[in-house]
């Protein structure tokens, strides 16, 4: 497929799936229950980190989390006492267990005691123009998130770090939610200190398969380098907002069962 034809195809699919109808059956429906920035950040980040497996199951686990937090994430995080955490002992999703849950609660409580927005944790103090800004940003966040002295080693597997060659799919998805700005009503666009042009594609098996079939991705491994390769290719279609094509690639892979 010629470059202009491929762009037209991807633009059409992105327009089709970047639509409010997308919300109901996607984990992004959880933060869409709220209007307060911190509520959106807390449940948005948490449900994004739980986003592996069936979307219906992820949404159910997100709703379970909201119930445990009295449907007021920020208020619960900032005001709960340690004894209130006992209610989370039974919360589990695949390999995410009570140890991970307690650390998430501890981090959020300490973080929001001195910060207004989670965006600040993604702002790397290093201004290295030779490196990928998003990689620096996510790695900086990973360091910040696990900076508490009692951070469990096992919880690190749930919050990816591209420095370890991970695709960081779930964090890239969360960043898409918080950063992308358009009038479609799906992504929130609440963070303004990170540019949509700096975002990286959330690379899962559906996106990988469709991108490979379309000739957008040559690399055989699903690692951070594949994320970089695909994102750079997508920038040739829209340099200011390459990750909007996540809707096209994911939509074709999941909704259309990979008909390309």
Q: What confidence score (pLDDT) does residue 128 get?
A: 58
Q: Are 6 and 214 in contact (CB under 8 A)?
A: yes
The continuous run of DSSP H or E covering 15 comes out as: helix 3-17
Counting the structural domains of the chain, the total is 1
Which two structure tokens, joined as six digits, stand for 158? Answer: 């749930």
Residue 235: domain span: 3-254
The continuous run of DSSP H or E covering 80 comes out as: none
Q: What confidence score (pLDDT) does residue 124 get?
A: 83
In a domain, 170, yes or no: yes
Q: Tokens 């591209």 sit at which residue? A: 162
In a domain, 75, yes or no: yes
In whole angstroms, what is the distance from residue 203 CA to residue 207 CA?
Answer: 6
In a domain, 33, yes or no: yes
In a domain, 15, yes or no: yes
How many CB atoms are located within 10 Å of the residue 16 CB? 16
Q: What confidence score (pLDDT) does residue 129 get?
A: 59
In a domain, 259, yes or no: no
* 22: nearest Cα among 175, 253, 184, 241: 184
pTM: 0.95
In a domain, 260, yes or no: no
Which string of DSSP letters, residue by residue, matches 180-218?
---SSSSS-----SS-GGG------HHHHHHHHHTTS--
Q: What confidence score (pLDDT) does residue 132 get?
A: 77
In a domain, 38, yes or no: yes
In a domain, 233, yes or no: yes
Which two structure tokens, joined as six digits, stand for 84? Answer: 């209130």
Q: What confidence score (pLDDT) does residue 255 get?
A: 81
pLDDT tens for the chain, 260 residues long, are 899 999 999 999 999 999 999 999 999 999 999 999 999 999 999 999 999 989 999 999 999 999 999 999 999 999 999 999 999 999 999 999 999 999 999 999 999 999 999 999 999 887 655 557 899 999 999 999 999 999 999 999 999 999 899 999 999 999 999 999 999 999 999 999 999 999 999 999 999 999 999 999 999 999 999 999 999 999 999 999 999 999 999 999 988 876 55
Q: What confidence score (pLDDT) does residue 256 get?
A: 84
């Amino acid at each position: 497929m010629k470059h202009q034809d491929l762009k037209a195809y991807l633009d059409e699919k992105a327009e089709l799936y970047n639509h409010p109808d997308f919300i109901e059956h996607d984990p992004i429906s959880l933060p869409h229950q709220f209007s307060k920035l911190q509520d959106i950040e807390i449940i948005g980040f948490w449900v994004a980190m739980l986003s592996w497996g069936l979307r219906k199951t992820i949404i159910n686990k997100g709703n379970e989390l909201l119930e445990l937090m009295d449907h007021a994430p920020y208020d619960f995080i900032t005001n709960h006492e340690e004894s209130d955490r006992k209610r989370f002992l039974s919360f589990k999703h695949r390999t995410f267990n009570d140890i991970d849950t307690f650390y998430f609660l501890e981090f959020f409580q300490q973080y929001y005691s001195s910060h207004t927005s989670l965006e600040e944790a993604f702002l790397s103090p290093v201004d290295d123009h030779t490196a990928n800004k998003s990689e620096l940003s996510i790695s900086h966040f990973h360091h910040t998130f696990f900076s508490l002295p009692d951070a469990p080693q096992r919880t690190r597997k749930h919050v990816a770090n591209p420095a370890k060659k991970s695709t960081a799919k779930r964090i890239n998805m969360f960043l898409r939610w918080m950063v992308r700005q358009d009038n479609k009503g799906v992504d929130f666009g609440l963070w303004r200190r990170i540019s949509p042009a700096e975002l990286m594609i959330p690379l899962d098996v559906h996106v990988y398969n469709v991108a490979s079939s379309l000739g957008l991705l040559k690399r055989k491994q699903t690692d951070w380098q594949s994320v970089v390769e695909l994102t750079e290719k997508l920038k040739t279609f829209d340099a200011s907002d390459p990750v909007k094509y996540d809707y096209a690639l994911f939509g074709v892979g999941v909704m259309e069962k990979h008909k390309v």
